[in-house]
Amino acid sequence: MKKIGILALVFGLVLCFGTAAQAEVGVTETEIHIGQWGPQTGPAAPWGAVARGTGVLFKMINEEGGIHGRKIVYHMFDDAYNPAKTKAGVKELQEGIGMFAWASGVGTAPGLAVKDYLMERKIPWVGPAAGSLHWITPPQKYLFAVYPLYITEAMALCRYAVKELGLKRIAMAYQNDDYGKNGLMGAAKELAKHGLELVAEVPVEKADTDMRPHVMKLRKAKAEAVLLWVTPVHAVRILGTAHAMKFRPQWMSTSTCSDFPLMYKISKGLWKGVIVANFAELPDSQTPLMKKYRKAFEKYAAKGERWGVFFYAGIGFVEPMVEGLKRCGRNLTRENFVKAMEGIRNFKGIMGVISYKPFDPKDPFCRQGQNQVFLSQCIEGAKSKKLTDWIEIKVDLK
């Protein structure tokens, strides 16, 4: 009898320790640990609202009871849009506390600094806050993109310029990096379908301050429309210089410059008339979900915070992650989470329709959730005029 009792005790201990050993990193009986980086300081600080928006979403979810009895513990740090700080911060949180997954994260360069680190360790990452091809070429099993590709945005804008506005002389000022070149690629692809090509391709370096040489090239090309694929600061400088030089094309820009109140203010009203691509509902949308999120913003956002596209983008980029967590039930492991994400079809939150597929290393779009944008125009007082419904763009990456 004593021997049986001892064996039972040993067997029980094995089961106990075996279960503990199998527990998923970042998950307890009552908590799910999620990490994110975002520039709260430095030149890209306006984009830091993305991470704060995610925080409000998680607070709302926790007040509602969490996800299957677990509360989300949110770990956000300021990387100042510095890839070295991104890498150090992610490593510190991952190896010090242990994140179950990572949400959003602003910027292509910061994201690239940690992509391999996360993927090699099979740590899920959902909703990078950049429309880069790097997230899906090649596709990664544990990385789920939400932001529509910059290529998609450029194609939608060029299509509108040609088909709806009847313009043929399209030019582009683009940041001379991955972000700008993705837009350039999209513009060239779409214009080729209409038997056209860009009449001017003007690279902009991050350190450039005098925009006169750039505007002179655009004016010399007699551009009827100009796509701006640059930072908000450079976009405003280009508009100001062009205004002084009496150059008045139809200005168009990417979603990174779609915060009309911000752009209108810093351009002193020159942003009026600019057409942009949008990845999420307009700020004053009256859909039930946007109303719910605005109430959460009013309740949880810090004093002085502004409800705007960057802030609620931090909600939209993470909505699919929340859906995936819910679909896992109580059996929350990274592998189950990946399967749940792969099962998401035609999901609609405040962004476009989002769908994923089972992982296929030969199919980049198995991990590109959103392929829709819509266009809007800035009007008097920084208000938005919606120009199109959601547009789905199919991109040939060959």
In this predicted model, what pLDDT tens digit does every residue of 124-176 receive, in sequence order? 999 999 999 999 999 999 999 999 999 999 999 999 999 999 999 999 999 99
Instruction: Name the one residue in this structure whose structure tokens are 């090509």.
Output: 197
Q: How far apart are alpha carbons 276 and 252 in whole angstroms?
A: 6
Inter-residue contact 232 to 46 (CB < 8 Å): yes
Confidence tier at 183 by pLDDT (50, 70, 90)? very high
Task: Using CB atoms within 10 Å of the CB of residue 154, give its burial: 0 to 12 exposed, 13 to 18 middle, 19+ buried.
Answer: buried
Give the integer Cα–Cα distance in Å for 142 and 136: 11
Cβ contacts of 229 within 8 Å, gap of 6 or more: 150, 154, 172, 173, 174, 175, 179, 180, 183, 184, 253, 254
Q: Which of 241-250, 251-260, 261-270, 388-397 has the lowest mean pLDDT?
A: 388-397
For residue 1, pLDDT over 80 is answered with no
Between CA 109 and CA 14 the distance in angstroms is 45
Q: What pLDDT is recorded for position 235?
A: 95
143-144 vs 391-392, strand pairing mode:
unpaired
In one letter, which amino acid is 160? Y
Cα separation, 296 vs 319, whole angstroms: 14
φ, ψ of residue 169 in degrees (nearest 5) = -100, 90
Would you state the structure tokens that stand for residue 78, as one six-digit string? Answer: 């300021």
Domain with CATH 3.40.50.2300 in the chain: 31-148+285-367, 150-278+376-392
Q: For the residues 67-82, what does the mean pLDDT come to?
A: 97
Is the CATH number 3.40.50.2300 carried by domain 150-278+376-392? Answer: yes
pTM of the predicted model, to two decimals?
0.90
> How many degrees, rounded to 5, is the angle at CA 146 between CA 396 and CA 366?
50
pLDDT band at 7 (very low <50, low <70, confident <90, very high): very low
Question: Residue 351: beta bridge partners?
Answer: 280
Q: What is the pLDDT of residue 207?
A: 87
Tell whether the model's pLDDT for residue 255 goes beyond 50. yes
Which tens digits make up the pLDDT trace of 86-130?
999 999 999 999 999 999 999 988 999 999 999 999 999 999 999
pLDDT band at 21 (very low <50, low <70, confident <90, very high): very low
Query: In the predicted model, what is the mean pLDDT of residues 345-358?
Result: 97
Average pLDDT over residues 340-364: 97
Given this model, what pLDDT does residue 121 score? Answer: 97
How much is the average pLDDT of 17-43?
Answer: 82
The CA distance from 79 to 44, in Å, is: 10
Q: What average pLDDT is seen over the chain?
A: 93
Which residues lie across from 250 on neighbouring strands? 225
Q: Distance between CA atoms of 369 and 331, rounded to whole angstroms?
A: 24
* Residue 292 in this model has a pLDDT that exceeds 50: yes
Residue 23: the pLDDT is 72
Identify residue 212 by its one-letter amino acid code. Answer: R
Q: pLDDT > 70: what percent of the chain?
A: 94
Instruction: Determine the average pLDDT of the residues in 43-66.
Output: 94
Token pair recorded at residue 91: 């490593």
Instruction: Report yes or no: 365 and 371 within 8 Å, Cβ to Cβ.
Output: yes
Residues near 264 by beta carbon (within 8 Å), at least 6 away in sequence: 271, 272, 378, 381, 382
**Is residue 16 pLDDT above 50, yes or no?**
no
Other CB atoms closer than 10 Å to residue 161's CB: what's the count? Answer: 27
Q: Kindly state the helix (H) or strand (E) to which residue 322 belongs, with its residue range.
A: helix 319-327
Residue 390 and residue 352 in contact, taking contact as beta carbons nearer than 8 Å: yes
Residue 262 in contact with residue 46, Cβ under 8 Å? Answer: yes
Q: Does domain 31-148+285-367 have CATH number 3.40.50.2300?
A: yes
